[in-house]
Structure 1
Amino acid sequence: MAATGSAAALAETLAANPGAARAQGGPFGWEPLLYLAYARLGTPGEYVEAARLLLRHGADPDAGYLWDGLTSPFTALTGVFGGGEGGQPPHPQGPALARLLLQAGADPNDAQTLYDLGLGGSFSDDTSHLKLLLEFGLGRGEGGPWHARLGPTLSSPRQLLRDELATAALRGGPRRARLLLAHGAEVDGLGGHPAYGGRTPYELALLNGHTEVAEILAAAGASAVLDETEAFAAACMRADADAVAAFGPRAPARAIARFPELVNNAAERRRPAAVRLLAGLGFDVNHLRRSTPLHTAAWNDDVETARTLVELGADPEIRDTEHGSTPLEWAEHGGRHDVAAYLRAASHRRPRPAPPARGEEI
């Protein structure tokens, strides 16, 4: 009933058995509120009214579960917001359900929600979830019942704000950066995830070519310490050819030796101009880190960057080291239809090796 949003049937059942609102059961051993939060059905139900009924009968707005040994709980809020590495869609009534859960006492310091809509998912500069969580106290308090249960294995509320600002800098979110700074995020606070590399947000923005975010952070008093090769890499990532040339003729070789994956980073950040600049400096457009830049463009459904890479000599037949798949296979697996169509057409235009001459060994 919860998963389908069958409010009328749920009301009748709860009137007879109020304790069913918190009873664990079903295929995952969850409380009903979690099935409601994580269900994605084609036929819409009365989910907000169903959730209100469950909460009125004692359902826990902080209900959640631990997945695969990880200590970041997947809560009802996490389910409602969606996102994450699998790109799960938000609940069709997500904003209203999220507000209802928060009004009922759900803790807004929801680490998994923040990861799924920030560092760990398909990134956009949308701030709607942050505005709602900040309204209800994100970054403040003790972290709620999950933090009380799991202790230092969960980030503190203040650390969550640091991580969010670092994510905005790493992935390019000027709207997020402004919002977080306005709500007290520490301008030089270090994010805790290894992806941040111990860098300040300002350093992350510079090294990833996110000029607008860098300007926002600088105006807020941020600091950055980059050595000469890092400063050269930052100029490459923002595709500033004049600044790159000013470093002199030896700078490219030093950067290639230290940061051979820079062209992969440019592809990941959807920066075809930076890709073109880096290729002209001698960076390998087929650099295989786990995957090639073309794999990354394929996964991002980024036709412009994919086309730039192919024009620069990227080989669409290289297979990644983890799955043994080509960029086209990545695109097909991920449902990236536009770039898949481009890569299929590009493979047909790719010159075929000439057949051996008569009498020549094969």
Structure 2
Amino acid sequence: MASTLPDNPSLEWLRHEARRLQRAVRQGDPEAVTTVRQHHPHAEIALASEQFALHGAQLTMARRYGFSGWAALVRYLRVAAGLGTDPAALDESELEPADHFCSLASLRYDGTDEPPRWQMAADLLVADPDLVDRNIWVAASAADPVALARQLTAQPSLAMSKGGPYRWTPLMYLTYSRVPLGRTRDETLSATTLLLDAGADPNAGYLWCGLSTPFTALTGVFGEGEQGAGRQPQHPFADALATLLLERGAHPVDQQALYNRMFRPDNSHLELLFTHGLADADPSPWERRLGEAMETREQMWKRQIDWAGERGYSARLDLLSQHGIDTSGADLTISTFPLDPNALDNEGATPLHQAAWAGDLPLIRRLLEAGADPTICDMRYGTTPLDWAEHAYQSEAAELLRAYRRD
């Protein structure tokens, strides 16, 4: 089963929670007793003791967060301790220029991801071109094959070294960088090949806020996610770069990449991964390293199937089925045009808000023609569809909505 630990979990915090649960059970707290009954495999025996042992509370906590026992939870936390990165914890105002460049250039997978940050990184490099020679992580973030060649020729082991603001390897900075420097496809692939030839791990990654689904180099290449393709775009040369990594040993089962790319109907990432063995690959290095903390393949496929069914992505279900994934339980929702184009959904938004966020130009036009009101504000943020398009950096959708207002 997959871990359900909170962000940035610590053993000290979990020990405190276990003791708190123990005390609450001893005091007869109904909520605590219910927690034990829900998660302890032998709850009634454990609760029969007036003292309710600490190991019973620890086992309850471990099972609550998706682990078979306390020892497995502790083992995961020890493994994860050196792999976690919390981008939001970084104080960029205190960074020296090289680290500041790397920080600005990288997808962080939080609410700060946006094109102006990447442009700020580009501006830093324009102002100080020698930054690429400051260290290997800057050269990788800039995908500069000349600077990388100089540094790797002098010290090949730098390809495996962790550093920079996020304590990543150079390959991670390259694959998560979105800085607009005008690099060509050949320059980017050349820079990546230099790192791989020097020993860079194609399965490098980190645990975002200590959570158990690794963000790998491949995850960075494929990009996207909950913030949308405008704020967390795929790498400009995603297909070529992902192909190179896969050919050099990156494992095709990348749970986080599949999650990040499931929000739109595009299936190009799945097609590429299936070509390289996604359907029946052996356990990945990350699955071996993290063990039961990671979601199972069954859980991974269920999420993909459920999302595709709910969104009416029939082509995705067909693709999964063609590669031997059992989609027989899928409940395919047939997308229909809303009877009321101004009706609010469960997010308190109109269909026009959602189309603006997705940058779906044909749907935006159709909704407007059907009487959708672009001035309606959603119930959560109090913003219009234009605001949603601008926040998502869906520039074409924003321009379409602005033009409609002018008309």
The TM-score with structure 1 as length reference comes to 0.63
Among 253, 261, 265, which residue is 1:117 paired with?
A: 261
**1:62 Cα offset (Å):** 0.8
The whole-number CA distance in structure 2 between the counterparts of 1:321 and 1:144 is: 43
Deviation per CA, 1:281-325: give whole Å up to 9, x if none.
xx9724563323332233234456556656766554443333221
Among 292, 301, 321, which residue is 1:181 paired with?
A: 321
Structure 2 vs 1, CA of residues 134 and 336 (structure 1 numbering), >3 Å: closer, same or farther?
A: closer
Cross-structure match for 2:349: 291
The whole-number CA distance in structure 1 between the counterparts of 2:369 and 2:327 is: 40
The whole-number CA distance in structure 2 between the counterparts of 1:129 and 1:301 is: 20
Cross-structure match for 1:326: 384
Q: Does 1:84 align with 2:225?
A: yes
Structure 2 vs 1, CA of residues 70 and 323 (structure 1 numbering), >3 Å: closer, same or farther?
A: farther
Structure 2 vs 1, CA of residues 92 and 338 (structure 1 numbering), >3 Å: closer, same or farther?
A: closer
Structure 2 vs 1, CA of residues 14 and 346 (structure 1 numbering), >3 Å: closer, same or farther?
A: closer
Unaligned runs of 5+ in 1: 189-199, 210-236, 238-270, 350-362
Structure 2 vs 1, CA of residues 141 and 311 (structure 1 numbering), >3 Å: closer, same or farther?
A: closer
Q: Does 1:105 align with 2:246?
A: no
Q: Does 1:42 align with 2:181?
A: yes
Report if aligned partners of 2:252, 2:281 keep a CA contact under 8 Å in 1: no
Q: Does 1:275 align with 2:338?
A: yes
Cross-structure match for 1:229: none
Q: Does 1:21 align with 2:159?
A: yes
The whole-number CA distance in structure 2 between the counterparts of 1:185 and 1:23 is: 38
Cross-structure match for 1:57: 198
The whole-number CA distance in structure 1 between the counterparts of 2:275 and 2:400 is: 43
Q: Does 1:146 align with 2:290?
A: no
The whole-number CA distance in structure 1 between the counterparts of 2:203 and 2:271 is: 19
Among 169, 174, 183, which residue is 1:31 paired with?
A: 169
SS of match in other structure, 1:2: helix
Deviation per CA, 1:27-54: give whole Å up to 9, x if none.
2211000111112233215222222222
Task: Report the RMSD for the aligned CA atoms in angstroms.
Answer: 2.9
SS of match in other structure, 1:65: strand
Deviation per CA, 1:146-191: give whole Å up to 9, x if none.
1122223322334433433333333333433222212110123xxx
The TM-score with structure 2 as length reference comes to 0.57
The whole-number CA distance in structure 1 between the counterparts of 2:402 and 2:145 is: 48
The whole-number CA distance in structure 2 between the counterparts of 1:61 and 1:176 is: 27
Name the amino acid aligned to 2:383. Answer: S
Name the amino acid aligned to 1:149. Answer: R
Cross-structure match for 1:93: 237
The whole-number CA distance in structure 1 between the counterparts of 2:313 and 2:298 is: 19
The whole-number CA distance in structure 1 between the counterparts of 2:167 and 2:260 is: 23
The whole-number CA distance in structure 1 between the counterparts of 2:360 and 2:188 is: 36
The whole-number CA distance in structure 2 between the counterparts of 1:298 and 1:78 is: 26
Among 239, 247, 272, which residue is 1:132 paired with?
A: 272
**1:107 Cα offset (Å):** 1.2
The whole-number CA distance in structure 2 between the counterparts of 1:93 and 1:303 is: 24
**1:4 Cα offset (Å):** 2.3
The whole-number CA distance in structure 2 between the counterparts of 1:288 and 1:316 is: 19
Report if aligned partners of 2:389, 2:397 keep a CA contact under 8 Å in 1: yes
Structure 2 vs 1, CA of residues 142 and 158 (structure 1 numbering), >3 Å: closer, same or farther?
A: farther
The whole-number CA distance in structure 2 between the counterparts of 1:315 and 1:57 is: 57
**1:113 Cα offset (Å):** 1.0
The whole-number CA distance in structure 2 between the counterparts of 1:343 and 1:288 is: 23
**1:90 Cα offset (Å):** 2.5
Among 211, 214, 218, which residue is 1:70 paired with?
A: 211
Aligned pairs for 1:117-266 within 5 A: 117-119=261-263, 123-126=264-267, 128-188=268-328, 200-201=329-330, 203=331, 205=332, 208-209=333-334, 237=335
Name the amino acid aligned to 2:261. Answer: L
**1:23 Cα offset (Å):** 0.8
The whole-number CA distance in structure 2 between the counterparts of 1:309 and 1:96 is: 37
SS of match in other structure, 1:58: coil
Report if aligned partners of 1:286, 1:314 keep a CA contact under 8 Å in 2: no
Unaligned runs of 5+ in 2: 1-138
Name the amino acid aligned to 1:187. Answer: T
Cross-structure match for 1:227: none
**1:25 Cα offset (Å):** 1.0
Report the number of matched residues. Answer: 263
Structure 2 vs 1, CA of residues 316 and 69 (structure 1 numbering), >3 Å: closer, same or farther?
A: farther
